Structure 1
């Protein structure tokens, strides 16, 4: 057996070890005070109430201070489930993260300060749409909390959409992401007002557009956009949750709106994932790894 084949076998075994140790945890489903803070965004007092629906997703431990491990956002959709973008919930291999590597922080407006309502919640399940793993589409994922939430004035559930997106509406995006491209992360949550593009406009703006993608932007204020750290956060139109931030391609770039994942389009997948209809996911990932290995062996 060649050295290359040995290395490939080791790689596959390491991946399978990761999968097997997390098999019961990680599942992949198939089916006024105004201040510039989101890039180009504002802090608007009356909109801060939306923070009661939001989650700061963080790596397991902070390095220097509370909140410096924030990397994505999410939205509370039930007592135990949080919706986010798939890219926030996977490793570089696009396989789901181990639940113990993620902490969900709820009940806080300030990313770097604890408040009496701040809670750090452990995660016991990570679910990622299989289409994202295989094709990079359907950028949506769910995490299940180890224990149910206790609702209060700062922690609330936001209902999933029951109708298609209201194209042409003005919407808002909230997050703790970078204030501008390559800039620092926001401490207090910030928001930006954007126009929800039509499907035709979105397809023209993004050649890689696929069904289930949404675009939002502001041609007159191109520096208004979600940025790094905002992925997984909510796009809210007419006081209703419509989508989560997917790819922050804009981040202040001219004529390049960011992409969002349409939650109404993915409503059946969300329902199936929350009902636990994902028991074969680890076997599917095993097959994917074996196919990759066999292809490499054949080519060599």
Structure 2
């Protein structure tokens, strides 16, 4: 997860670890690396065939979204601490993370590209492209998702999915979870996060809390009308009243995503079959 500037931590009188990607300090507004689905319900990969599990040495690390046969979009903070792609793989086509399913496919990551403006201080521009070593064969369990082009109005219902923990500080879910939340306009969200929030971020929550994305869901999709609207990024705690989940706004980074993907396509690294 992204970290607040050390100076801010010192002013607040707290200790901020910069090493552990699963670190989260719930007493201050330190962005969390891995989100989780809280207050959701079981679903299947057939309903969300773009959803993937990013794994490091076989262990679930983050979520992400299929956008082409060999390209994944996820959060920059899911990979920015990695020095190599060794043992980093993407699993698609599976509802469960602790079982091998008939249509499941797994590919190694060849390289990852982090948004050049990504800031670890507050997870601004929290987007990354992962290029795979090979191509997924599309079927009803593995399909690409398109990028959203516009931010929706306040209170629009959206859906977020993932295998993250189902309670704050709990264990990750074996079964893919879905939860419906509502977009919170940035002016309102700033009441919770003040200077941490930027125009490249998008917030979502429900009144009274109880539904959110958190640990294990980072990098995963926030979706509206079957288009990728957001990338699970950070927040304070999980599903807390008055503390919306924060997402990288895809409409605000779409130009970079499309330009970089086009560049990779020109040199033959991306396949849009």
TM normalised by structure 1 equals 0.71
CA RMSD in angstroms, aligned pairs only: 1.9
What is the distance in 2 between the residues matched to 1:89 and 1:127?
Answer: 9
- Unaligned stretches of 5+ residues in structure 1: 1-36, 62-68, 278-300
Alignment of 1:238 with 2:225, yes or no, is yes
Alignment of 1:190 with 2:177, yes or no, is yes
Q: Are the aligned partners of 2:54 and 2:63 in contact in 1 as well (CA < 8 Å)?
A: yes
Instruction: Give, in angstroms, the shift of residue 250 of structure 1.
Output: 4.0
Instruction: Give, in angstroms, the shift of residue 90 of structure 1.
Output: 1.4
In the TM superposition, 1:48-127 aligns within 5 A as: 48-61=45-58, 69-91=59-81, 97-127=83-113
Equivalent position SS for 1:132: coil
How many residues align structurally? 227
Task: Tell me the alpha carbon deviations over residues 54-101 of structure 1, each in whole angstroms, 9 at most, x when there is no partner.
Answer: 11001023xxxxxxx10100000112110011110111xxxx542223
Instruction: Give, in angstroms, the shift of residue 272 of structure 1.
Output: 2.5
Q: Are the aligned partners of 1:55 and 1:75 in contact in 2 as well (CA < 8 Å)?
A: yes
Shifted more, 243-252 versus 260-269: the winner is 243-252
Question: Which residue does 2:205 correspond to in 1?
Answer: 217
Instruction: Give, in angstroms, the shift of residue 162 of structure 1.
Output: 2.7
Q: Which has the higher strand share?
A: 2
Instruction: Give, in angstroms, the shift of residue 255 of structure 1.
Output: 1.2
**Structure 1 runs, 4 residues or longer, greater than 4 Å off:** none
Task: Tell me the alpha carbon deviations over residues 208-238 of structure 1, each in whole angstroms, 9 at most, x when there is no partner.
Answer: 1111100000123x12111200001111123
What is the distance in 2 between the residues matched to 1:121 and 1:158?
Answer: 18
What is the distance in 2 between the residues matched to 1:172 and 1:250?
Answer: 19
Task: Tell me the alpha carbon deviations over residues 243-288 of structure 1, each in whole angstroms, 9 at most, x when there is no partner.
Answer: 11001434132211110011111011102222348xxxxxxxxxxx
Equivalent position SS for 2:236: coil
What is the distance in 2 between the residues matched to 1:195 and 1:55?
Answer: 23
TM normalised by structure 2 equals 0.78
Q: Higher relative contact order by CA 8 Å / sep ≥ 6: 1 or 2? A: 2
Q: Are the aligned partners of 2:160 and 2:179 in contact in 1 as well (CA < 8 Å)?
A: yes
Q: Are the aligned partners of 1:166 and 1:237 in contact in 2 as well (CA < 8 Å)?
A: no
Alignment equivalent of 1:153, drawn from 125, 133, 140: 140
What is the distance in 1 between the residues matched to 2:237 and 2:47?
Answer: 23
